[in-house]
Structure 1
């Protein structure tokens, strides 16, 4: 599907200037706001796939760039600063008057979980939730995920060093595995599924889940 009417909006927050790239649905019933992780921007494969696919299913996608990325910095600030930026963006995300799914990948997923109830999010989409630092399972961040307080979908690579699907605790959330995927959902060339199928698992899962939100 070819996305049209893409617009870019700058938003001032207490953490600096943020940016939203809007991919509107013709007959939107939800807004999916998704931010990037600590090591990349909105150009990553999963966020771009969601922006291409979801508008055809009644979901406007807002790709969010945190102030540190807009400012050209290479390192993400502390979690509290990320939360400040997300809070400052929220009025712009809610402006269309539709329920907003708060989402993000990696560090952005943590932000969405921490702030969901406070901001009145309809649900949370956590892409590549960093359950723990690589090789440090004792440094669990499960509390953030379990405390989201709203319907939550986790999409996790089967070989994610930040937390494989089988490492996740039981809780009131749904989890979809992208087989063989790493933290960025890249799959090895020798895997039984190719990169296109891996991305399709992500988009199809999110479309189905978003449809269940009403």
Structure 2
């Protein structure tokens, strides 16, 4: 039996998923042909498709805490594991992610499926690599799928502005093509983009940065700061929930229903 079935994920077809999502508001599903989907919370103020980072999936400590805290604030979060991460979970062996274009295509498949199920807008985002994938999707959506619904916004926890120790290799070339609001939650000491580095970049006006005091890439502060990772994650989700809510004023309670 697979890792996910043993972890309590219910196997369903994409066609059956719509009915299963009607109740309860939270649940874990192994969608045939797609992979694991975990639904957290109730969409009181918004709904977010949130992808994991390169080295840890949706069941990592950071993802669990971030997603739970965000769901408690009225944002329903839908978490996925990309195929390479599914293989890591099944075999217990680490493996690198595939080329980013492949992961982007997989993210697009999930978005198309989930966006078709719900009445309200579906935000996108992710942790680190997952956040980069989300921004790439937002930058390409109108050009590649002009008939699809527009992504309302992006939320990223720890954007990988550049690989550690190679600050000249920036990953920002696609940002000018993003027209929706973006929120980047970033630790001040993040080796993928420290505050003193990022503040020197020419970023588009629709990108809002929220700095987490003394935090690293996983929002872990040094002990001398007097803060904890839990405190910084809670602060980050408070900012994220307020951001989504501010740009979703027309999202009514009825949008929690399925199409």
TM norm structure 2: 0.73
Partner of 2:216: 182
What's the secondary structure of 1:190's corresponding residue?
Answer: helix
Measure, in 2, the Cα distance between the counterparts of 1:89 and 1:199.
26
Please show how residues 68-147 of structure 1 align to structure 2 within 5 Å: 68-72=84-88, 74-94=95-115, 95-117=117-139, 118=141, 120-147=150-177
Report the count of equivalent residues.
207
Measure, in 1, the Cα distance between the counterparts of 2:232 and 2:73.
19
Establish whether residue 171 from structure 1 lines up as the match of residue 204 from structure 2: yes
Displacement, 1:108? 0.7
Given that 1:160 and 1:182 are in contact with CA atoms closer than 8 Å, whether structure 2 keeps it comes out as yes
Displacement, 1:85? 0.7
Displacement, 1:143? 1.9
Establish whether residue 34 from structure 1 lines up as the match of residue 50 from structure 2: yes
Displacement, 1:48? 2.1
Of 150-159 and 42-51, more deviation after overlay is shown by 42-51
Displacement, 1:56? 3.9
Displacement, 1:130? 0.5
What's the secondary structure of 2:174's corresponding residue?
Answer: helix
Q: Which runs of 4+ in 1 moved over 4 A?
A: none
Given that 1:11 and 1:92 are in contact with CA atoms closer than 8 Å, whether structure 2 keeps it comes out as no
Partner of 2:28: 8
Measure, in 1, the Cα distance between the counterparts of 2:45 and 2:234.
22
What's the secondary structure of 1:142's corresponding residue?
Answer: coil
Measure, in 2, the Cα distance between the counterparts of 1:159 and 1:63.
26
After superposition, give the CA deviation of every residue in 1:161-204 in whole Å (9 maximum; x if it has no partner): 11113322232210001111111111222223222221121111
More strand by share: 1
Q: Which runs of 5+ in 2 are unaligned?
A: 1-23, 89-93, 142-147, 249-259
Given that 1:24 and 1:61 are in contact with CA atoms closer than 8 Å, whether structure 2 keeps it comes out as yes
What's the secondary structure of 2:245's corresponding residue?
Answer: helix
Establish whether residue 198 from structure 1 lines up as the match of residue 232 from structure 2: yes
After superposition, give the CA deviation of every residue in 1:10-52 in whole Å (9 maximum; x if it has no partner): 3456xxx332100130x53421111111111113344323322
**Structure 1 12/79 Cα, relative in aligned 2: closer, same or farther at 3 Å?**
farther
After superposition, give the CA deviation of every residue in 1:55-107 in whole Å (9 maximum; x if it has no partner): 34432111121121112262211101101110111133211222111101111
**Structure 1 81/33 Cα, relative in aligned 2: closer, same or farther at 3 Å?**
same
Aligned-pair Cα RMSD in Å: 2.0
Partner of 2:39: 22
What's the secondary structure of 2:223's corresponding residue?
Answer: coil
Partner of 2:4: none
Instruction: Tell which has more relative contact order, 1 or 2 (C-alpha 8 A, sep 6+).
Output: 2
Displacement, 1:5? 4.9
Given that 1:33 and 1:61 are in contact with CA atoms closer than 8 Å, whether structure 2 keeps it comes out as yes
TM norm structure 1: 0.87
